[in-house]
Amino acid sequence: MPRPFKCRRVCCNPKSDYFKPRGIPVYQLEEVNLTMDELEAVRLGDLEGIYQEDAASKMNISRQTFGNIIDSAHKKIADALLNGKALMIKGGVYTMGRMRKFKCLACEHVWEIPYGAARQRECPRCKNTNTHRAEDDKDYARKVGAGFGRGKCGRSQL
């Protein structure tokens, strides 16, 4: 019996989820399915240039798994580009990353940043450095990765 998939944390939501070669009707095209976790690996590794170890940590997976995911994504993208296939972004084993809430204790301003993004050391409004996690943040005073892992996320339908 194969090992169950570990849920991958994804923080990007693409504006478009289907790409095709120009001039060829959709009904004549073969499709390649790029999963959301593969897209996230490409975003972190290729677009943002983050090292695999750090990118894997942001996705809540091992470095080896990250390497396997990005290799699979690269092959699918190359297949679609070189063989004139449509690229569909859909499915995978993932959960969308949530936002973290912060509060400035000087001016009471509250703002959100996505998980995986670097924490701002100063308030965006008043530039004060006395900032902390907001009390109404879901993960306030809990482990950041809570809720991820085996049994916490199901396979998205393709």
Same domain, yes or no, for 75 and 91? yes
Range of 85's domain? 8-96
Q: Tokens representing 45?
A: 């590794």
The answer to which of 27-41, 77-91, 112-126, 130-144 has the lowest mean pLDDT is 130-144
Same domain, yes or no, for 15 and 63? yes
Same domain, yes or no, for 84 and 122? no
Same domain, yes or no, for 68 and 92? yes
Q: Which band of pLDDT confidence, cut at 50, 70 and 90, is reported for residue 82?
A: very high
Same domain, yes or no, for 105 and 72? no
Residue 79 lies in a domain: yes
Same domain, yes or no, for 29 and 61? yes
Tell me, what amino acid is at 119? R
How many domains are contained in the chain? 2
Same domain, yes or no, for 22 and 50? yes
Residue 3 lies in a domain: no
Contact 58, 116 (CB under 8 A): yes
**Helix boundaries (H) for 7-50:** 36-42
Q: Which band of pLDDT confidence, cut at 50, 70 and 90, is reported for residue 13?
A: confident
Res 140 pLDDT > 50:
no
Q: Which band of pLDDT confidence, cut at 50, 70 and 90, is reported for residue 138?
A: low
Same domain, yes or no, for 53 and 79? yes
Same domain, yes or no, for 91 and 103? no
Contact 141, 149 (CB under 8 A): no
Handedness of CA 146, 71, 73, 33 (dihedral sign): negative
Residue 44 lies in a domain: yes
The CATH number of the domain holding residue 13 is 1.10.10
Is the pTM higher than 0.75? The answer reads no
